């Protein structure tokens, strides 16, 4: 059921010219920006890292706007009530949407690497190539779970897109996708440690440039499981609350 739901949502997203074009173009622009910035900073040896970071930024954007937009889209289409009425746990209905956004975001990661290779000659010399693939899969799944946790709060929020629009750059920044966490104020450290995006980015960076990948992968996976648990509980709670208050539509 999860697989079919994910496939259905991926197909639905692929039918939207808006979604397709944004998914095609924006990651490439971000990758180009990252490459020129790193070149300007004389960090040519870190261009692969920059491309991976930019790709991960694209994955997060896809999950964030996909998860937030999914709930809002369901609401606008008038189908939110129906999917919440389905005789299944709400998490089993919403999870395919967030996982689908993570899968479509995979394109961003692949596109930035391909773009970097073709146009800028960035050599795809991963120190741990197998670990990179595993870390990428774990990271995308983790982002999907994180998206589920966010989506559970978006169900109750009328202005969910206010939060989605505001969360793009903060997560990019605090997770260290392109900006190392070490240059940020110290108080952001504990916050960053709680995010699956931080550990996913770290795992990918370590697989790219060298370092202990598996501990980061394990932490990322662990936090994603916590996101799944809390997201599931949260969805059940907000569904009951929305039913009691008759506020699900919030039209």
Partner 1 sequence: MKTLRLMTMGGVLAYRALFNWTRPAIFVGTLLVGPLFQLLFFAYLGRQLQVADDRFYIVGNAVLTATLACVFGGTLAVGNERRYGTLGHVLLSPRSRTAVFLGRALPYAGNGLLIAVVTLTVGATLLGLRFPARAISGLLLAMAVGSLACAFFGLTLGALGLRFRDVWVVSNVAVALLLLLTGVNVPSGALPGWMVRIGEFLPITHAAAAARDLAAGRGLAAAAPALGREALVGLGYAVLAAVLLKIFETESRRTASLETL
30 with 111: CB under 8 angstroms?
A: no
Please state, in angstroms and rounded to a whole number, the distance separating the CA atoms of residues 172 and 187: 16
Q: How far is the CB of 31 from partner 1 (least distance, A)?
A: 10
Look at residues 58, 68, 69, 46 and name the one whose alpha carbon lies nearest to residue 172: 58
| Contact set with partner 1 (CB under 8 A) | 17-18, 21-22, 25-26, 29-30, 32-33, 36-41, 43, 159, 161-163, 165-166, 168-170, 172-173, 178-180, 183-184
- For residue 180, count other CB atoms closer than 10 A to its CB: 10
- Nearer to partner 1 by Cβ, of 78 and 180: the residue is 180
Residue 49 phi/psi, 5-degree rounding, is -60, -40
- Nearer to partner 1 by Cβ, of 53 and 200: the residue is 53
Please state, in angstroms and rounded to a whole number, the distance separating the CA atoms of residues 217 and 134: 8
Q: How far is the CB of 5 from partner 1 (least distance, A)?
A: 26
- For residue 62, count other CB atoms closer than 10 A to its CB: 29
CA 40 to centroid of chain Cα atoms: 28
- Nearer to partner 1 by Cβ, of 57 and 95: the residue is 57
Q: How far is the CB of 244 from partner 1 (least distance, A)?
A: 23
- Nearer to partner 1 by Cβ, of 58 and 90: the residue is 58
- Nearer to partner 1 by Cβ, of 37 and 193: the residue is 37
Q: How far is the CB of 250 from partner 1 (least distance, A)?
A: 13
């Amino acid at each position: 059921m999860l697989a079919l739901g994910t496939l259905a949502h991926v197909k639905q997203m692929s039918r939207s010219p808006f979604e397709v074009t944004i998914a095609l173009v924006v990651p490439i622009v971000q990758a180009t920006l990252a490459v020129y910035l790193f070149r300007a900073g004389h960090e040519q040896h870190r261009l692969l890292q920059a491309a991976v970071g930019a790709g991960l930024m694209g994955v997060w954007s896809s999950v964030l706007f996909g998860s937030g937009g999914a709930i809002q889209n369901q609401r606008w289409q008038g189908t939110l009530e129906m999917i919440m009425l389905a005789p299944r746990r709400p998490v089993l209905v919403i999870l395919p949407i967030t996982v689908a956004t993570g899968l479509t975001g995979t394109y961003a990661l692949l596109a930035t690497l391909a773009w970097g290779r073709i146009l800028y000659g960035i050599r795809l010399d991963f120190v741990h190539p197998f670990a990179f693939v595993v870390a990428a899969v774990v990271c995308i799944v983790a982002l999907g779970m994180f998206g589920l946790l966010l989506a559970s709060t978006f169900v109750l929020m009328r202005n969910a897109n206010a939060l989605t629009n505001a969360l793009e750059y903060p997560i990019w920044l605090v997770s260290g996708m392109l900006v190392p966490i070490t240059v940020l104020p110290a108080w952001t450290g504990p916050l960053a440690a709680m995010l699956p995006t931080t550990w996913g980015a770290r795992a990918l960076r370590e697989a790219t440039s060298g370092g202990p990948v598996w501990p980061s992968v394990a932490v990322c996976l662990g936090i994603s499981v916590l996101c799944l648990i809390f997201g599931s509980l949260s969805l059940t709670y907000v569904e009951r609350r929305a039913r009691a208050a008759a506020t699900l539509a919030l039209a």
